[in-house]
Amino acid sequence: MVQLFVNAALVLTLLAMAWQDFRYRGISWYHFLTLGVFLCLSKGRFTSGEVLINLVFLGMVFGLLTAWFSFKEGRLLNLFSAHIGLGDLLFLLCIALYFSFSSFFLFYLLSTLLILIGVGIYLFWSKPESFTVPLAGLQSLLLLTALMWSWGQGQELYEFNLLYPYW
């Protein structure tokens, strides 16, 4: 019964995050807090080593992104001022609490690729004058899809390992 409540809360939180990001291009801070808490409750156990590895990976990704955009602009810049929203980072920090490193890496890679492809197709066909990507909202929908798939399979998503499925 408790797991059903946690799962329902996750669904509602992820839907609310997606809606806010699509509508306002921003997500209220309490949704990140709620997401982090319910993901930890869903997992049932907390392994600081996995979280640390995920955080180091995120640090490397955001460090490389900062270096790349700074190189392109010819000056050191704040990545969050023009290129990436703070909500995108907060969403990734929340899911870093939930996934093992291999699952986190795969989710990050696949969700980013799917979103890039989808946004590329959208921009090709619609050609808007200005456009921002609701990255956290789109990733929340992808996480919701993955969670619902795993619940349907009777498997926990944080345990799913696409790289070594038989271990």
> Would 35 be classed as within a structural domain?
yes
Structure tokens at 82: 């023009």
Distance CA 48, CA 1 (A): 27
> Would 69 be classed as within a structural domain?
yes
Closest CA to 36 of 143, 117, 133, 151: 143
Domain that holds residue 38: 2-155
> Would 163 be classed as within a structural domain?
no
Query: So what's the pLDDT on residue 166?
Result: 47
> Would 160 be classed as within a structural domain?
no
Sorted by sequence, the CB contacts under 8 Å of residue 96 that are 6+ apart come out as: 51, 54, 55, 58, 104
pTM for the full predicted model: 0.91
Q: How many domains does the chain have?
A: 1
End-to-end CA distance of the chain: 29
> Would 161 be classed as within a structural domain?
no
What mean pLDDT do residues 54-68 have?
96
- Where does the pLDDT of residue 44 fall: very low under 50, low under 70, confident under 90, or very high at 90 and above? confident
Distance CA 119, CA 97 (A): 27
> Would 76 be classed as within a structural domain?
yes
> Would 103 be classed as within a structural domain?
yes
